[in-house]
Structure 1
């Protein structure tokens, strides 16, 4: 039995405005950006070293758990429909897609039906 349908969209604030969502998670200020590491800068969340760096950041696992609980609360509402979560970082290539995939894995384990879209993952690295 599915608890609810969830759409997760990862994005980069430096590319465009955040997508419309019920919950928007801004990962920019509180979590270290792999972009600052030259060896990770041109990789993406599709690369294991980036995923390890992001998921080993203090607080990320707790945030996944907290956002999953919030999604379940939204999905439990009396007029529950699809719940959309947008999570963003600066460029949308490292933190946001890694977080989105971890959240999707958690929500699926909890019984939700989940789709994930990485809006800016394939865009070029933003020079800043």
Structure 2
């Protein structure tokens, strides 16, 4: 199996509470199964740019397995007969904590495997959603 690691991958994190998910080949919903920093008053107003948020998300059991499984899914799309970028969208509730942390970790993993990755965060800078 030949993997076209030169395939471009576009990853976009988002918050479901800010609108519909972006169109993607692979959409990952992080809302139910992974630690939400929003519930911690110390982390709520921080974002994935802050180390305590990243540490909280990345220490959630199962998150590294999901990063690896998502990277494997991207590799599978890249092996397909059609040319063009592979689009990945990953979302959490507000788009400030889990989704951008996961997106950055996935981007790092894919870059290490030789993929060209464009990373964007649709809702990272939006206000905290009060829920």
Q: How high is the TM-score relative to the length of structure 2?
A: 0.95
Which sections of structure 2, spanning at least 5 residues, go unmatched? none
Q: How many residue pairs were aligned? A: 128
* Secondary structure, aligned partner of 1:14: helix
Could you say which residue in structure 1 is the equivalent of 2:128?
Answer: 125
* Secondary structure, aligned partner of 1:99: helix
Partner Cα separation in structure 2 for residue 50 and residue 32 of structure 1: 10
Could you say which residue in structure 2 is the equivalent of 1:90?
Answer: 93
Cα distance, 1:58 vs structure 2? 0.3
Provide the alpha-carbon RMSD of the alignment: 0.9
Q: How high is the TM-score relative to the length of structure 1?
A: 0.98
Which sections of structure 1, spanning at least 5 residues, go unmatched? none
Where does structure 1 differ by over 2 angstroms across 4 or more consecutive aligned residues?
A: none
Could you say which residue in structure 2 is the equivalent of 1:73?
Answer: 76
Cα distance, 1:78 vs structure 2? 1.0
Asked if the contact 1:3/1:113 (under 8 Å) is kept, the reply is: yes
